[in-house]
């Protein structure tokens, strides 16, 4: 029975890693769709989101079954409870990539972004994908030191987010209100994607050590 339980717990970890990989792929493709005004790629992200939702439902059900039927304690209990919370974080990462793709689709055939901010979003997309890969790695390894370093990677996203606001507030901005609203929303989506990746890492640290990093507050899923 103990062997079966450990297999089920390992299966839950694999599902979380798969979700993280899919969320990263979704943001990578959504960024390409955004920068290239690629309708087909935007539609692919929207269609593929169902895979994240399906795995999310299965993973959450598996976690609750482990809680209800196995009565885990200590480290195993932390792993399962954290797993339930991580499902929500990664599901939200996928939803944020979906929002990016939907904005790209809504503005097609026009490009959503003014050319002068394309570089910012190309870099935000790169950082977001790297963060999802790092989160997937710490889910696989449960290494609290690697998990702690994700916070440093998130700093780059925060810097880009702040710089974009300075561009929007510049008196030379000449692209109108609609473009400003799109840039603001999109920047927020990338920032939140990164925040949820950090929260995945934070929960991995709790699973591995039994405590949360004191300098990292909870992220409220949005």
Are the beta carbons of 41 and 98 closer than 8 angstroms? no
Closest listed residue to residue 100, CA positions, set 28, 17, 166: 28
pLDDT for 69: 77
What are the CA-CA distances from residue 212 to residues 25, 59, 165, 168, 207 (Å)? 28, 23, 31, 36, 9
pLDDT for 215: 53
205: pLDDT strictly greater than 60 = yes
Helix, strand counts (H, E) of the chain: 6, 0
**Average pLDDT of the chain, as a whole number:** 91
- The string of pLDDT tens digits covering residues 130-178 is 999 999 999 999 899 999 999 888 999 999 999 998 999 988 899 999 9
- The string of pLDDT tens digits covering residues 75-121 is 888 989 999 999 999 999 999 999 999 999 999 999 999 999 999 99
Averaged pLDDT, 189-195: 97
Averaged pLDDT, 192-219: 84
- Please enumerate in sequence order all residues whose Cβ is within 8 A of that of 43, keeping only pairs 6 or more positions apart, or say none: 101, 105
pLDDT for 18: 96
Question: pTM for this structure?
Answer: 0.92
CA distance 123 to 145: 25
pLDDT for 221: 47
- In order of their start, the domains of the chain are 2-209 (1.20.58.220)
């Amino acid at each position: 029975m103990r062997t079966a339980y450990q297999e089920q717990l390992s299966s839950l970890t694999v599902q979380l890693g798969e979700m993280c990989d899919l969320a990263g792929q979704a943001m990578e493709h959504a960024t390409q769709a955004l920068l290239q005004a690629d309708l087909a790629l935007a539609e692919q992200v929207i269609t593929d989101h169902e895979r994240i939702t399906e795995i999310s439902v299965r993973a959450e059900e598996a976690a609750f079954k482990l809680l209800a039927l196995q009565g885990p304690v200590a480290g195993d209990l932390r792993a399962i409870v954290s797993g339930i919370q991580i499902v929500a974080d990664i599901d939200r990462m996928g939803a944020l990539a979906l929002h990016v793709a939907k904005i790209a689709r809504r503005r097609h055939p026009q490009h959503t972004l003014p050319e002068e901010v394309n570089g910012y979003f190309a870099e935000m997309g790169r950082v977001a994908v790297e963060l999802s890969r790092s989160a997937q790695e710490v889910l696989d390894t449960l290494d609290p030191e690697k998990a702690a370093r994700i916070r440093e990677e998130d700093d780059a996203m925060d810097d880009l987010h702040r710089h974009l606001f300075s561009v929007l507030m510049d008196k030379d901005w000449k692209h109108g209100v609609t473009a400003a609203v799109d840039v603001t929303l999109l920047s927020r989506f990338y920032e939140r994607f990164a925040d949820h990746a950090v929260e995945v890492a934070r929960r991995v640290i709790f699973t591995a050590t039994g405590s949360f990093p004191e300098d990292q507050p909870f992220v409220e899923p949005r």
